[in-house]
Structure 1
Amino acid sequence: MTRFPRATAVAEAVRAGHSSARAETEAALVRIADGNPALNAFVTVDAERALSEAEAIDRRLAAGERPLLAGVPVAVKDTIWVAGRRVTQGSRLFGSFRAPADAIAVERLRAAGAVILGMANSSEFACKGVTTNPLFGPTRHPQHPNLTPGGSSGGPAVAVAGGLVPLALGTDAGGSSRRPPAHVGAVGFKPSFGAIPYGPGFAEPFTGIAVMAPIAADVADAALMFEALCGPDPRDPDSIAVAPMESRPPESLSVAYSPRFGLDTPIDEDVRQAVESAVEALERAGTHVVRRDLSWPAGVTETALMPLQHAGLAALYGDAFRRDPALFDPDIAVQIERGLTLTGAEVAAAQLLGVEVARSLAAFFTGADLLIGPTTPCVAWPLDRLGPDTIGGQVVPPRAHAVFTPLFNHAKVPALSLPCGTGRNGLPVGLQVIAPRGLDRRVLRFAAYSETVLAAGGQGHPG
């Protein structure tokens, strides 16, 4: 796979005059032309517009500006508004939609000097754990093209892990920008809810928990992108300011390790061993790790919370589904059908359970600075399946691969997936790092420390 300089190196070179935004854009366009046909990470690329934007950035630099992401090529998930670009949500309903405005996060990418190369593939409405849709088909794993990278931000994750661009912007309402990075060996960061302003854009099926999520090749790049995007904006009433960087060294923090996050769910042995090895490496480096499980409210499972997504899809697209079900991905159609049958009491029960999840995790953090554990219970699986047939030797339902991420969305806390080694067939495994809401920089700093520790021990990035 063609490799590329990290975003931090690109921005430094462009700011110093050793490269230019146009040169970096031209190089990325060559990488996309060479690598994307096999991956299907990008679904649309606008070379002419990207080069024009790059030249405008070079003029800003000539005038004395030194933007944070100067000249860095970026992929944007095909659910996020980019003004004037075709943005489809992977849906036939929006096949010809042109975004009338930039999302605030995209505005901030532009202000920081990034160059938007194009739109990256997503499952329809970002509501499926693999990346395929009726418009563009599947995105493929960069190491094994017969495997899926997961979803829904598989396109952005593969654009980075496949060596096409240094940075990508995804979304995460249940793990969509942590699980695909874990499967392909990238870093995926779900900030605190509101840390990066959301919208303007499409209405969300899962309201109140979705975030904009940086995806990068390493933690330093993810942190750089986060700094360019975070901070409140009056157009998003949920946007918040996050805490400044703490002075405490990462190894002084109290870190709770939970092998299954307190959930009664299977995990594959190769994933368990990779995560355990990473935790042991952190302990040897002097990290204060305590093995401690979470105690969730009774009845907490991802299934118990899914009525919120199903009802949201039904509210947004139920009428169109009734008129023509064939317009939709069959897997999304099943969710809409379920949503149309739900009662108000069932939806309210799921909402109340989400509130209790947030309270339970807040109580847990009174006794720990950070929480770590697996991002997923399995490595990547065949492209033609919604999920692996078995995990941990047990036959499992299709969403069993997704169990370790959604609760942290409902809790509105920051969570990052960091490569921590490999499982069978050399496939990447992710370690998830979580902190209380607003302590995003604590997560990023500890993840950077962990990345260094794991790299010294021969773990971490697979290539």
Structure 2
Amino acid sequence: MTKPTHSAREIAAAVTAGRMTAVDTAKAALGRIDAAKALNAVVTTDPARTLADAAAVDDRLRAGETMPLAGVPILVKDNIWASGWRITQGSRLFADFIAPQDAIAIERLRKAGAVIVGIGATSEFASKGVTTSPLYGPTRHPLDPALTPGGSSGGPATAVAAGLVPLAIGTDAGGSSRRPPAHVGVAGFKPSYGAIPYGPGFAEPFFGLSVIAPIAADVADIALAFEAMAGADPRDPDAAGIAQEAEDIAGLRIAFSPRLGLDVAVDDVVANGLVSAVARLSAAGLSIALRDPTWPAGATEEALMPLQHAGLAALHGDAFRKDPTVFDPDIARQIERGLSWSGADVAGALVASAAIANAFAAFFAEVDLLLTPTVPCVAWPFTQLGPDMIGGRAASPRAHAVFTPFVNHARLPAISLPCGTDARGLPFGLQIIARRGQDRTLLRAARHIEAQLQA
């Protein structure tokens, strides 16, 4: 497999300067994608459309237009609308769906000069922690084809890690664009809720939680994509402005919570790797205190799951009643569960969600950044929903996801950075969380932390 040698920002600079063309970069990306079909990271390509879009970027440059992402090849997750592209959510129900328009974020990326070279695999309805779907089958880990990259943004994360594209756009409603990057060794950013407009697009089962999330090899490329997409838009009532100026990171109050204040299992290699990373950051001059958030009684992801199940049931319950076999069996079980929840059950989950958000708000009244693991384990076989064991304990199917969902319920920004590997070379990640609206401060701090971890 031939990997690209340039970052998104390097490609944009070269295309802008005329050292290469957008058509050339698109052709090269399409060639890499074609050579990496066994990964099943890219589920749809349309070379004619891609090359026409790239040629249009070249025409815009010749006309004197300035574009921060000129000619950058990008992958878009298979649940985000991109006009004219087949976007299926990994579901047989949408196997022939052609997006009628761009999501606002994609519209902005195109305006910035980015060129879509393919659609990245997702689990059905982005509702599962392993990237496999009824339409396309499993996406495989770029370092070991027997393993999963996690989910649901496994296709975009794998494509970046394998060097197929420098930048991919995923979604994140519970960690979907932080955990897969952690498992494959790249960076994944979940912005504050509303920082990037979300629609227009499919009806969303994760009410008030899901965000558009850039994935790249490093923080600088993520920041470049974020600036292209961020900002309020009257078409999205939830889109909001965020702080314009980044705080000086020298005075930030930074906490490290090895288990996010939860009674959860973590593999030794991850726990030790995080402690080592924090020690390196402290030695580099960052002031980091050991401190856990304080959670309300009963704060677990399980307490929140009625919201996901009920959301899926509300959208797809009728189709499930007609033919449950049309769905991924794991998604069918979630829909069936959602149909059984009472209104009080769902309201209880909303109460739990609000309590978690309030607990995080209290914590960030006294802390600026929080460091935690992104994942408690490395990648596992793609045939399983999760690893059998974590930290010496038998693991439930969602035990691999414990460190990310609370961030969504608090609508905070968070980023996962590569932090280390196990003896087999399988990566894990460091998660950095900030107050809502402090996305630029978080990205600035993440660039500094990334540099220290790579030193």
| TM-score, scaled to structure 1 | 0.97
SS in 2 for 1:419: strand
SS in 1 for 2:74: strand
Quickly say closer, same or farther: Cα 1:341–1:247, change in 2 above 3 A.
Answer: closer
Gaps of 5+ in 2: none
Residues 12-44 of structure 1 show CA distances to partners (whole Å, capped at 9, x for unaligned) of 111111111111101111111112x12100000
Partner of 2:347: 348
Partner of 1:51: 51
* Alignment partners' CA distance in 2, 1:326 and 1:383: 21
* Alignment partners' CA distance in 2, 1:355 and 1:58: 48
State the shift of 1:429 in Å: 1.1
State the shift of 1:2 in Å: 2.7
Residues 204-255 of structure 1 show CA distances to partners (whole Å, capped at 9, x for unaligned) of 111101000000010000000000000000000110111123251x243111
Percentage identity across paired residues of the two chains? 63
- Superposition pairs of residues 31-430 of structure 1, within 5 angstroms: 31-35=32-36, 37-248=37-248, 250-430=249-429
Contact 2:247/2:441, CA 8 A, preserved across alignment: no
Partner of 1:461: none
* Alignment partners' CA distance in 1, 2:423 and 2:104: 40
SS in 2 for 1:318: helix
Partner of 2:24: 23
Counterpart of 2:257, as a letter, is: S
Counterpart of 1:7, as a letter, is: A
State the shift of 1:366 in Å: 1.3
* Alignment partners' CA distance in 2, 1:163 and 1:420: 19
Residues 67-86 of structure 1 show CA distances to partners (whole Å, capped at 9, x for unaligned) of 01000000000001111111
Counterpart of 2:294, as a letter, is: S
Counterpart of 2:183, as a letter, is: H
Aligned length: 454
State the shift of 1:174 in Å: 0.2
Quickly say closer, same or farther: Cα 1:251–1:280, change in 2 above 3 A.
Answer: farther
Residues 123-176 of structure 1 show CA distances to partners (whole Å, capped at 9, x for unaligned) of 000000000000000100000110000000000000100110000000000000
SS in 2 for 1:373: strand
SS in 2 for 1:407: helix
* Alignment partners' CA distance in 1, 2:56 and 2:400: 43
Consecutive aligned runs of 4 or more in structure 1 exceeding 2 Å deviation? none
SS in 2 for 1:22: helix
* Alignment partners' CA distance in 1, 2:88 and 2:3: 29
Gaps of 5+ in 1: 457-463
Counterpart of 1:27, as a letter, is: A
State the shift of 1:353 in Å: 1.0
State the shift of 1:3 in Å: 2.3
Counterpart of 1:401, as a letter, is: H
* Alignment partners' CA distance in 2, 1:424 and 1:265: 23
* Alignment partners' CA distance in 2, 1:39 and 1:442: 35
SS in 1 for 2:133: coil
* Alignment partners' CA distance in 1, 2:196 and 2:443: 15
Contact 2:214/2:222, CA 8 A, preserved across alignment: yes
Contact 2:246/2:438, CA 8 A, preserved across alignment: no
* Alignment partners' CA distance in 2, 1:63 and 1:361: 49
| TM-score, scaled to structure 2 | 0.99
Contact 2:206/2:308, CA 8 A, preserved across alignment: yes
Residues 299-324 of structure 1 show CA distances to partners (whole Å, capped at 9, x for unaligned) of 01001000000000111101100100
* Alignment partners' CA distance in 2, 1:163 and 1:155: 12
Counterpart of 1:85, as a letter, is: W
* Alignment partners' CA distance in 2, 1:424 and 1:350: 39
* Alignment partners' CA distance in 1, 2:244 and 2:273: 32
How much is the aligned-residue C-alpha RMSD, in angstroms?
0.8
Counterpart of 2:431, as a letter, is: Q
SS in 1 for 2:450: helix
* Alignment partners' CA distance in 1, 2:269 and 2:250: 27
State the shift of 1:118 in Å: 1.4
SS in 1 for 2:365: helix
Counterpart of 1:404, as a letter, is: F
Residues 336-374 of structure 1 show CA distances to partners (whole Å, capped at 9, x for unaligned) of 010010000000010111111111101101111100110
SS in 1 for 2:177: coil
* Alignment partners' CA distance in 2, 1:274 and 1:2: 30
SS in 1 for 2:295: coil
* Alignment partners' CA distance in 2, 1:166 and 1:244: 26
Counterpart of 1:6, as a letter, is: S
Contact 2:57/2:71, CA 8 A, preserved across alignment: yes
